[in-house]
Structure 1
Amino acid sequence: MTEQASFALRGRNPDVLTCIANLSNDEVFTPPEFANRMLDTLAEAWAADHKGAELWANKSVKFLDPCTKSGVFLREITSRLTRGLAKKIPDLQERVDHILTKQVFGIGITQLTSMLARRSVYCTKHANGKHSIARGFKTQAGNIWFERMQHTWLDGKCAYCGASQKTLDRGDGLETHAYAFIHNDDIQARIGEIFGGNMQFDVIIGNPPYQLDDGGYGTSAAPIYQLFVEKALDLDPHYAVFVTPSRWMAGGKGLDKYRERMLSDKRMRRIMDYPKLYEGFPGVKIRGGISYFLWDREHHGPCEVQTIWDGQPTGPAVARHLDEYGILVRRNEAVPILGKVKAKKEATLDERVSSQKPFGLRTFFHGKADKKGLKKPVKLFGSQKITWVERSAIPANSAWVDKWKVLMTRVQGTSAAVETKFLSKPIVAEPGSACTESYVVAGVFDSEIEAKNYAMYLRTRFARFLVSLRKSTQDAPKNVYAFIPDLPLIDPATNNLNFCAPP
């Protein structure tokens, strides 16, 4: 066997997989260094569960990457097994053939990435080609499978992933983004069809597509990574290790059921969280950061949570029950503080804050530049400007128009790598005013002093700290206020707040 087959090329600098640009926002390549951190976590868990035995010296363990792109996980697993099995299978060619045909499996997400993954693992895009380091394959795909699939359209959406038919129902020459792993009713049967026989994987590991590439952008795009995780867990592996955006921990579009499932699952063994923008994946802007988890079928108990900041842990890993607060509180040091606040069992501000479109007006709605000619003019706070509308043009909560109100912008934050602006400056809106959905109504009051005191409360570090525990993106709906206690607004003796000085 040639030196190429023994992976000598991987010793060169730079590693080719560090030089590939991401294809799109939904297909983010995993840096080799990050993939190896995940594999280290897996190996540590295996050793702890198997009396110190080395995972990479076990020739019967089967690995699956159900969403392979660059092939980095499969490549690094193959490299580790090649070293670890040297004593058990001394002949290099026999060892590599065993690993690639019996232990390492992948499902490509596109035709391009499947060829890239085969090139990374087999050193050629054809597993049975003359340049392949494997000698036991009869097909070009080997164990890295891909076939183009179609969506199952139902009322303009895909029944499996929710993709838009208008956007992705296109010709045969274009990628459909209908990923095989999640477009099925029975994942066990589907895996059997793909790889043959009754396949049982010990480890499922990957970095799934994050969102549908169907016209949505940023946090407004529908996430799909949770569908890959759920299908993987349905296969009942011994371990599952996935890296995903961290938005699911406290929010995310359509992620409520997924968050409830993951936080209540006592088989979650470890979470490594990277909240700082760009830190996990340099150059890739993922709002709220990223994280990876280790799910262990045999584990039943609290989950260890650790935060990484500037490449270093912010403190020791803390074992805790993830479902204590309905979201995952990402900062370990904040948990005892929050516990003291919640122990008071006071009402919280989310009961005051309005839902989206408090007055039924969209962001793009604008009134007149002045109130001339209006019979009952209402001052309208809109996106970046104030206009005037007729009272009859307010379709919802018209009674609030005559009250004092505190408005908070719905989108709050910056583009900085380290987010510090969790709430914007409150706006005290007088009677005779309303707003578009650019704002939420944070509170409605009968008097000006109550409204001003409430606005002052929202400007305290205490309130903003509690918001930071629930706010994972720039979006600030009513639920981000759910940890802030609803305290009395007025001291009868002074007409001011009890807990901070007047402005």
Structure 2
Amino acid sequence: MSSLFESTYNPDVLSCLANLSNDEVFTPPELANQMLDLLPEDIWHDPNATFLDPACKSGVFLREIAKRLIEGLADEYPDLQERLDHIYKRQIFGIAITELTSLLSRRSLYCSKYPNSKYSVVRFDGPEGNIRFKNVQHTWRDGRCVWCGAAQQQYDRDPSLEQYAYEFIHIDNPEEVLHMKFDVIIGNPPYQLSDGGNNASAMPIYQKFVEQAKKLNPRFLVMITPSRWFSGGRGLDSYRKDMLNDRHIRKLVDYEDANECFPGVDMSGGVSYFLWERDYKGDCAVINMKNGEADEQERDLGRYDILIRSNQAVSIVDKVTAHTSKFLSAYVSSQKPFGLRTFAQPTGRGDLTLRWRNGRGPIERTAITAGQEWIDKWKVIVSRVVYEHAGGTDAQGMRRVLSILEVLGPKEVCTETYIVVKTFDTEAEARNCMAYLALKFPRFLISQVASAQMVNKKSFMFVPDLDFSRSWTDVDLYNEFSLDDQETAYIENHIKEMNPGED
């Protein structure tokens, strides 16, 4: 039977497809099979098992599922055509995200974009087969879609154009879509919807597919999504809380570099896929993947408010939180510490000095709308943008993390290009704090939270607030928090040197 797919079309053609965008990424066949490998072997021998991909793009998941079932059910259905009819008509289902991907998915699965044609592997009565596409519309309320949150200004368009109103998440009860239960739900959902700005301001949408799939209560759920939900991401706080406290997640496979899954795709924060198992409750096997090597550790995902992605970093963070309950996140400013936007510039007059993205210059005190209590103090500031593009590492696997780290004196303020980490009454304390943040240990702790593009208040949730009347070294910190040789080596090998005040 293996010759069926090999003789009908090139089984690797789906790995050659260009991605629709960074929001809708095609899944390479190799990755689809890695995800399918998470499922128990006996499911491929079960003639009653049902499978759903609720976000079909290329149809690769359904095609690879079919190949496994065709082999696994050979004893149950010795007659090839009877086996095919049973598998394609009773076990495999999909919901396409667009009309184009519905045709592509049918071509991948049935070997014909019209499964009622003579070229189809099995003959259906209608042109959809078991891969449906319904051109649904957004439901607008107060400028947003009530189902997916899409902006009406961006997506209220001519009906002949693509609406990006995905059927699976535009219904309250997903059982109404196909009127059946599924043993396995698997897929690679769309990642985000544009707000009309750049990608950084786009709204995540993948979590809605996961939440809808859970409503169907399948035996197994496997999905691949961006990993930014681990610690950040707009609109993901509730989703992150639910995921971290969901004891049904049996495995989580995380790639810090998305290129290892999707070659040529630039995706900040990496990607990950998980196995959710209805009949399992317990710790999760977190698998860090890097350059093809796996590091696995059983963990309680709900240990902290964010997910520490590195297994080797967990013991370090545990030692820090066991030693102290005082962290710099208690002092870090909001996004606009002095109420000044990124584009604010010096006015050429005034008794204050503005630190903005192009340098320094005079500004009036009346322009300051927030943080007035900090104006006359010494301040340690950092740039909100991390040093590395997309939060990645260099060829040696090392990161610098912080880009700009400076001290501002009394009567000096800054735009929202920067955040204030802490304020002090004396210059000496401020400079000791700046030197402390330039050390490897604090930046390593920041990197466990700031895994994507931006540094914010939450990024300092594991960075200890220490006595800054004295100076610190990394050796001091390693001893203070009882790190062993393996833990200190891990930090030293993953964080670059940085000089205080270096831009």
What is aligned with 2:175? 188
Distance 1:127 1:213, change over 3 A: farther
What is aligned with 1:164? 151
For 1:8 and 1:464, the matched residues in 2 are separated by 51
For 2:3 and 2:127, the matched residues in 1 are separated by 18
For 1:166 and 1:433, the matched residues in 2 are separated by 40
What is aligned with 2:93? 105
SS at match of 1:440: strand
How far off its partner does 1:186 sit?
1.6
Q: Say if 2:127 is the partner of 1:148.
A: no
Q: 1:126 aligns with which of 106, 114, 121?
A: 114
Q: 1:83 aligns with which of 63, 67, 71?
A: 71
How far off its partner does 1:378 sit?
1.2
SS at match of 1:442: strand
Matched letter for residue 24 of structure 1: S
Matches within 5 A, 1:230-241: 230-241=211-222
Deviation string, structure 1 residues 148-177 (Cα, Å, up to 9, x no partner):
111010111111111111111011211000
- Whether contact under 8 Å (1:5, 1:133) holds in the other structure is no
How far off its partner does 1:384 sit?
3.0
Deviation string, structure 1 residues 455-476 (Cα, Å, up to 9, x no partner):
0110111101101111121111
For 2:240 and 2:465, the matched residues in 1 are separated by 26
Q: Say if 2:386 is the partner of 1:386.
A: no
For 1:499 and 1:178, the matched residues in 2 are separated by 52
What is aligned with 1:50? none
- Whether contact under 8 Å (2:338, 2:414) holds in the other structure is yes
For 1:190 and 1:105, the matched residues in 2 are separated by 11
Matches within 5 A, 1:210-359: 210-313=191-294, 315=295, 317-359=296-338
For 1:485 and 1:400, the matched residues in 2 are separated by 21
* 5+ residue gaps, structure 2: 477-498
Q: 2:45 aligns with which of 39, 57, 65?
A: 57
- Give the TM-score normalised by the residue count of structure 1: 0.91
How far off its partner does 1:319 sit?
0.9
How far off its partner does 1:5 sit?
8.2
SS at match of 1:41: coil
- Whether contact under 8 Å (1:404, 1:446) holds in the other structure is yes
Deviation string, structure 1 residues 65-104 (Cα, Å, up to 9, x no partner):
0001000000000011111111111111111111110000
For 2:157 and 2:110, the matched residues in 1 are separated by 32
- Whether contact under 8 Å (1:100, 1:134) holds in the other structure is yes
* 5+ residue gaps, structure 1: 48-53, 193-198
What is aligned with 2:36? 39
Q: Say if 2:106 is the partner of 1:114.
A: no
How far off its partner does 1:364 sit?
1.1
For 1:241 and 1:486, the matched residues in 2 are separated by 40
After TM superposition, the structure 1 stretch with the greater mean CA deviation from structure 2, 391-400 or 109-118, is 391-400
How far off its partner does 1:399 sit?
2.4
How far off its partner does 1:388 sit?
2.0
- Whether contact under 8 Å (1:277, 1:418) holds in the other structure is no
Q: 2:160 aligns with which of 164, 173, 191?
A: 173
For 2:197 and 2:182, the matched residues in 1 are separated by 34
Number of aligned residue pairs:
473
For 2:197 and 2:204, the matched residues in 1 are separated by 10
- Whether contact under 8 Å (2:53, 2:185) holds in the other structure is yes
- Whether contact under 8 Å (2:439, 2:473) holds in the other structure is no
Q: Say if 2:126 is the partner of 1:139.
A: yes
After TM superposition, the structure 1 stretch with the greater mean CA deviation from structure 2, 323-332 or 376-385, is 376-385
For 1:223 and 1:405, the matched residues in 2 are separated by 34
- Whether contact under 8 Å (1:348, 1:484) holds in the other structure is yes
- Whether contact under 8 Å (1:177, 1:213) holds in the other structure is no
SS at match of 2:44: helix
- Whether contact under 8 Å (2:247, 2:283) holds in the other structure is yes
What is aligned with 1:9? 7
How far off its partner does 1:377 sit?
2.2
Distance 1:350 1:25, change over 3 A: same
How far off its partner does 1:425 sit?
3.7
- Whether contact under 8 Å (1:219, 1:252) holds in the other structure is no
What is aligned with 2:81? 93
Matched letter for residue 204 of structure 1: I
What is aligned with 2:437? 458
- Whether contact under 8 Å (1:62, 1:103) holds in the other structure is yes
How far off its partner does 1:497 sit?
4.3
CA RMSD of aligned residues (A): 1.9
For 1:350 and 1:300, the matched residues in 2 are separated by 33
For 2:475 and 2:25, the matched residues in 1 are separated by 46
Matched letter for residue 55 of structure 2: C
After TM superposition, the structure 1 stretch with the greater mean CA deviation from structure 2, 413-422 or 17-26, is 413-422
How far off its partner does 1:183 sit?
0.6
Matched letter for residue 440 of structure 2: R
For 1:448 and 1:257, the matched residues in 2 are separated by 41
What is aligned with 2:424? 445
For 2:60 and 2:282, the matched residues in 1 are separated by 31
